[in-house]
Structure 1
Amino acid sequence: MNYDDLIDTETWAFIRATERFYPVDTIGFTVAEQRRVYKKMCRAFFQGYPAGVAATDTLIGGVPVRIYSKAATETTVVYFHGGGFVVGGLDSHDDVCAEICDRTGFKVVSCDYRLAPEFKHPAMFDDAKTTTEHVLATYKGPILLCGDSAGGNLAACVAHAMRGTTDRILGQVLIYPGLGGNTERGSYLTHAEAPLLSRDDVLFYSQMRLNGVEPSDDPTFAPLLDTDFSGLPPTVIVSAECDPLSDDGRVYRDAIQAANGRAVWINEPGLVHGYLRARTTVQRAKTSFERITSTLTDLGQARWPFD
């Protein structure tokens, strides 16, 4: 794949800046070192909080969370961070969550779920579901599920697990998520050596959260392993074109639509995995982030913006 034909100059600058902190061979590091360099990278891209946004750390059902607020609102976004289920936490996506709060006006609850390899599946799913259940029990209004990469997987897994139990989940917005697609075809091969996330990276991180063989029928591990895609909340999947995970969004959209659900897949041209960190320096990423936050705003007000 000749990425010079797809990726523009701004995005290449972001890629090079990222690789200075998080080199392409990082999966060969120890987990402790991976976390150290990832944390350093996230701090380097940190944008601060918009004026008027406040955050508080607390526990919800025993799970550490950070709650962002700006104004009185009944709608809450439950956010699950990316990082391959191995790295990341409340600080890695701190400014992203603060900006979502600012742009939507909604409360944002960021979930600090347990990480592999210390904790194996389903620990991270259990924390995601527990957080969502406690948000529903604590706050009166509707909620939205949102996450990027591994966090997009968790948001969708929670949506599958909780359908039929509440009518207050108004939608899910999944940002370049890994949903459990077939790694032997499509974008997994076309973009196997994509900048910032390779197919080998995907396989490594998937195995890190397992005890043994990858399940073939467990939608709490990956939503595409489900056999029933009916009854899910309105779903928007935003993928990066230059990403082995890209086709997961298309396949998931098609499965929901085939079950007569509402789903849209947006495959952002020329963008790469992790582009949320480029939302202030790369116009394509800025436009996508604006699309993500406006979609959250619409879904949080029970509007489907894609008719």
Structure 2
Amino acid sequence: MAAPPQRRTWTANDYALRLDPQMLGFIDATNAHYPPDTIDASVMAQRAIYDRMCTAFRAVRPADVLVEDVLPPSSHPIPLRQYRRHDVVTQVAAVLYLHGGGLVVGGLDSHDDVCAEICARTGFRVTAADYRLLPEHSYADACDDALAALRWLLDESGVPVVVVGDSAGGLLAAMAVQAMRGEARQAAGQVLIYPGLGGADDLSSRIEHAEAPMLTRAEVKAYDALRGVTAPTPLGQPDFSGLPPTVVIPAECDPLCDDAVVYDDAIRQAGGRSVCLIQQGWVHGGLRARHAADVARRAFDVAVDAIEALGHGRWPY
């Protein structure tokens, strides 16, 4: 598995000079709602702060999207929220969305607008899963919930399913498709947005962007420790063959950037289809800037285009 080349560490001044004013404004606005020291607060306080931040940035749902909260009638019930465009009669594909938040914060409301906009733009039905969070539950519980949601959606929808996750949701998405590797039914593809995939702490981006805005190397290590440093991760798997078509969309200014680079390389080395589309000038958590910064808008366009292509069975890369 090839490792990215070593690069120098960025300083705070580098970000101030090299990120565009729109992204810098978004970072300042985020920090006003979610201060950088939030990770030191209690879990309940972190969730309250995160929820307030999500509310402050939440966009209005597109008017043509209908939303319904459901609970699968199965032996593994998981709260779900489904989005469908009212003018789409015949579904072509479905999307399972797994939210970010370090496996600690977030839920059905935190990424509600993102899911609604994916539905509006692709016409696909989108299902968001409210997986169990740490520390009340285990990392294994979260992985089990993601896998159960994927299996249920594959059974229930009857159409190709694209699995999408951002940040820790990308970790769960990759674990779910890995768990189904070799089975007769598979996801049509996976789209992972600035995912944390269990990369080594000495990867270049962990060092170069150790003090990146929005997510630092120390915060990554704290979340890794909470998950369990010996817990299975996508990059810790022995075999990357047989995975569905994969699009990884990391942010350049993110200590997790090279997790995506290494994962993409591992899939391609195993003979699979994968592409890594690094978004220059973007930061972790930058999905919320899609209506405020051109860099984030373009990154969201890249993600939506990937979801649409995989849902239709295309590989335009």
Shared fold per TM-score greater than 0.5: yes
Q: Which amino acid aligns with 1:289?
A: F
1:60-209 correspondence to structure 2 within 5 Å: 60=72, 61-70=76-85, 71-72=88-89, 73-209=91-227
Identity percentage of aligned residues: 48
Asked whether the 8 Å contact 2:166–2:193 carries over to 1, the reply is: yes
2:57 corresponds in structure 1 to 45
Query: After TM superposition, where is structure 1 displaced by more than 6 Å over at least 4 residues in a row?
Result: none
Q: Indicate yes or no: 2:285 matched with 1:267.
A: no
CA distance in structure 1 between the aligned counterparts of 2:184 and 2:173, rounded to whole angstroms: 15
Match of 1:144, SS?
strand
What is the Cα deviation at residue 58 of structure 1? 1.2
In structure 1, stretches of 5+ residues that fail to align are none
What is the Cα deviation at residue 168 of structure 1? 4.4
Residue 238 of structure 1 deviates from its aligned partner by 0.2
> SS of the counterpart of 2:36?
coil
- Classify the secondary structure of the residue corresponding to 1:146: strand
**Could you tell me how far 1:185 is from its partner in structure 2?**
2.9
Amino acid at match of 1:246: C
Look up the equivalent residue of 1:272 and give its one-letter code: V
Asked if the contact 1:141/1:168 (under 8 Å) is kept, the reply is: no
Task: Work out the CA distance in 2 between the residues paired with 1:174 and 1:132.
Answer: 15
Q: CA RMSD in A?
A: 1.0
CA apart distance, 1:209:
2.8
Cα deviation per residue 1:106-147 (whole Å; 9 max; x = unaligned)? Answer: 000101000000011201000000111111111111100100
> Which of 29, 36, 43 matches 1:24?
36
The answer as to 2:265 corresponding to 1:258 is no
Give the Cα separation in 2 of the matches to 1:23 and 1:238.
25
For residues 64 and 207 of structure 1, what CA distance do their matches in structure 2 show?
A: 27
Aligned length: 299
Give SS of 2:107's match. Answer: coil
Using the alignment, how far apart are the partners of 2:316 and 2:299 within structure 1? 15
Letter in 1 for 2:155: A
**Structure 1 residue 305: deviation in Å?**
1.2
Distance 1:239 1:177, change over 3 A: same
TM-score normalised per structure 2: 0.92
Contact 1:6 1:269 survives alignment (8 Å): no
Letter in 2 for 1:30: S
Unmatched 5+ stretches in structure 2: 1-9
Provide TM-score, normalisation by structure 1: 0.95
Question: Partner of 1:296 in structure 2?
Answer: 307
* 2:5 counterpart residue number: none
> How far apart are 1:74 and its partner, in Å?
3.5
